[in-house]
């Protein structure tokens, strides 16, 4: 079993792109004590936003789930950056917040959020299990379908 976050992600056949910088006047991550707060991450392909639209309108539930998975890769990139890519420094994902741009009628935000939650467990094992909030919103920055934020406990 690999000891780096990057290798775990790559073993799933996924790329772990470098952690991107903030889009405005804030920071992408902040560590307070042993907690790492990762700002909302949107799905992207390179420097461009991906999975544009709203679930229940232009995107299906499964496409929303894939968007959540892609956004969670951004969270993992910031985590890898914060811990020097050392998997042993990850104590646990404490909480994920998943925001889903969707129609007012769409009620399966939790199923969409499973894309992010499942990836955390696939990459981090038991340390990836977390509390979670999944909410529907009218729109998200840059027109993306999903945004994921995280609180992660790390070891020194």
Residue 48 resides in a domain: yes
Q: What is the pLDDT of residues 33-70, one digit of tens each?
A: 999 999 999 999 888 999 999 999 999 999 999 999 99
Residue 51 resides in a domain: yes
Which residues constitute the domain of residue 77?
Answer: 26-154
Give the CATH number of the domain where residue 124 resides: 3.30.1330.40
CA–CA separation, 129 and 124 (whole Å): 8
Rounded to whole angstroms, what are the CA distances from 155 to 41, 82, 91, 124?
23, 11, 6, 14
| Other residues' Cβ atoms within 10 Å of the Cβ of residue 66 | 19
Residue 111 resides in a domain: yes
pTM of the model: 0.96
How many structural domains are present in the chain?
1
CA–CA separation, 30 and 88 (whole Å): 20
Q: What is the pLDDT of residues 109-127, one digit of tens each?
A: 999 999 999 999 999 999 9
Residue 112 resides in a domain: yes
The pair phi, psi for residue 49, each rounded to 5°, is -65, 150
């Amino acid at each position: 079993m690999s000891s780096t976050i990057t290798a775990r992600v790559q073993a799933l056949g996924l790329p772990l792109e470098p952690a991107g910088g903030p889009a405005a006047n804030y920071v992408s991550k902040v560590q307070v004590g042993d907690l790492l707060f990762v700002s909302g991450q949107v799905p992207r392909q390179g420097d461009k936003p991906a999975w544009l639209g709203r679930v229940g309108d232009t995107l299906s539930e499964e496409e929303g789930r894939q968007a959540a998975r892609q956004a969670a890769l951004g969270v993992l990139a910031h985590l890898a950056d914060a811990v020097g890519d050392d998997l042993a420094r990850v104590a646990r994902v404490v909480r994920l917040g998943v925001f889903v741009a969707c129609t007012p009628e769409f009620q399966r935000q939790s199923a969409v959020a499973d894309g992010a939650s499942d990836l955390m467990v696939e990459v981090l094992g038991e340390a990836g299990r977390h509390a979670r909030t999944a909410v529907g919103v009218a729109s998200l920055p840059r027109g993306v379908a999903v945004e994921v934020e995280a609180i992660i406990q790390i070891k020194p």
